[in-house]
Structure 1
Amino acid sequence: MPTVKQAAPTDLRTFFLDLSALLRDRPALSATATERADWFDRKAELLESIAATTPEAAELAITARETATWIRGGAA
């Protein structure tokens, strides 16, 4: 599973490349709960990398982390 690179807030090209890679790697419906939770953690990492300049990204990162925790808890 590829890891998300921490993009500098001004490096939007890197951010969009990482976002594209993340979306391509979105788990299938048949994925395990662990695989889905790991994907949401990767999504949170990517959003946190731009949260300093984009407040909405910080909120989305929190939601992604909460979703990963919820999935790991056996809710999905």
Structure 2
Amino acid sequence: MARQTWRWVGAGWLALVLASGALTLYLDDADGPPSGPAKWERVSPPSGTPRPCPGPTGRFLDGLGDCAYWERR
């Protein structure tokens, strides 16, 4: 009898999770699909001075020019 009870509890929990997910998607106030595919474009750095770039080890590398800055448009 205990095994059957746990099955009902599991099925009820799964139904609740699926229903709440469906309700969340239904109530999502998105303005519709995006107007087009977004793409990344290279932009100038935020400040006029070059900033050190992080290297593969995580340390900042000096003297190698400025980093590439990308912006999603």
Interval of TM-score (by shorter of Structure 1 and Structure 2)? under 0.3
Between Structure 1 and Structure 2, the one with more strand by share is 2
Please say which structure displays the higher CA radius of gyration.
2
Between Structure 1 and Structure 2, the one with more helix by share is 1
> TM-score by structure 2 length?
0.27
